[in-house]
Structure 1
Amino acid sequence: MPELQSHHVGLTVSDLDRAVDFYRDILDCSVIAEFEVSGEAFATGVDIEEASARFAHLDGGSVRIELVEYEPPAEGRSVPQLNDTGATHLGLEVENLDVFYEQLPSTVKTLSSPQTTETGTRILFLRDPEDNLIEILELDA
């Protein structure tokens, strides 16, 4: 079997422009690429009839973040919770979690203030404008 290598973490959003603004302006991720995909092969590949999508790839340091806005959009979505079966989140590391937290605009939803776990890792969970969960962490030195 060929060796696997990571390429990206994908997040589906309903408003690509708003999501790109958040990841670029709040999380300081630069845009690597923006493109659109459609056609029968794409619709078959993603198993969504007549699907098309707009994509943005962002530089998240050691991870490429793929934001994707599908047409047609899915109907209804509950706000994800970390303990939901199948729940996902994006994890990004910072050197100083307190400074990061203090510089967050008041409009950014966080689950709590920064916390230190029993392993010594400091964590902060926040939500992007689409309610996707993002963990910002500072590893124990």
Structure 2
Amino acid sequence: MTVADTPMNLTRGAHVGISVSDLDASIAFYTALTGRGPVAEGTMDSVPFGISQGLPVAKLRYATINIDGLGIDLIQFTEPVGERTNGKANRPGSMHLCFKVDDFDAVYRRMRAAGYDFLGDDYTFVAGEVTPDAALGTKVAYFNDPDGTNLEIIEPKGGFAN
């Protein structure tokens, strides 16, 4: 039996952790993006927590911003300081955080007017380019946070991305 053959039934998300280089700048960015400020902020200095993450120690500052159904943990490691990943969408191990919106066109226009730098043009899923057909009409656009974490806005259609 392999790990892939053993279902764990993990079906609910609690939070996403994002390593950042400047906690204050990231708090400002995510507060502007979500309209919500941190519900928790603090520091940690722990050898056991570091070991649990494969590090010799974990000295860090953190803040949590809650959005509907998910916490966004912003974590600035002060020891050991990590290197920026410069994540690109096609690099294994990279991830993105997607924000669901009800009116894609209005949100996209507001974000562009506010100076958000999108990675490319917005995109609407069309027939022949995506399966299943439930995704047809879904609108997406991608951008980065100050450290290059991939972010997305989406207005899903049908049963896609619920």
Category of TM-score, reference length = shorter chain: 0.7 to 0.9
Correspondence 1:110 to 2:118: yes
Q: Verify the 8 A CA contact 2:50 2:57 in the aligned structure 1.
A: yes
Contact 1:98–1:114, Cα closer than 8 Å, also in 2: no
Does the residue aligned with 2:91 lie in a helix, a strand or coil? coil
Partner of 1:130: 147
Deviations 1:4-50 (A, max 9, x none): 44210111000011001001013323322112111221222222223
TM-score (norm 1): 0.88
The size of the alignment, in residue pairs, is: 139
- If the length of structure 2 is used for normalisation, what is the TM-score? 0.77
Alpha-carbon RMSD: 1.9
Tell me by how many angstroms 1:78 deviates.
4.3
Q: Secondary structure at the match of 1:19?
A: helix
1:15 has 2:22 as partner? yes
Quote the offset at 1:134 in angstroms.
Answer: 0.5
Of 116, 124, 137, the residue aligned with 1:120 is 137
Residue 146 (structure 2) pairs with residue 139 (structure 1): no
Paired residues of 1:60 and 1:92 also in contact (CA < 8 A)? no
Q: Secondary structure at the match of 1:30?
A: coil
Match of 1:43 among 50, 53, 58: 50
Change over 3 Å in CA distance of 1:2–1:140 after alignment to 2:
closer
Contact 2:48–2:57 under 8 Å retained in 1: no
Structure with bigger gyration radius: 2
Work out which structure has the larger RCO, using CA pairs closer than 8 Å and 6 or more positions apart in sequence.
1
CA distance in 1, matches of 2:34, 2:141: 13
**Sequence identity percentage:** 27
Partner of 1:123: helix, strand, or coil? strand
Q: 1:58-97 to 2 correspondence within 5 Å? A: 58-72=65-79, 73-75=81-83, 77-97=84-104
| Shift in CA distance, 78/64, structure 1 to aligned 2, threshold 3 Å | closer
Name structure 2 gaps, 5 residues minimum: 1-6, 127-135
- Specify every segment of 5 or more residues in structure 1 that has no aligned partner in the other structure, as ranges: none
Pairwise CA distance, 1:93: 0.2
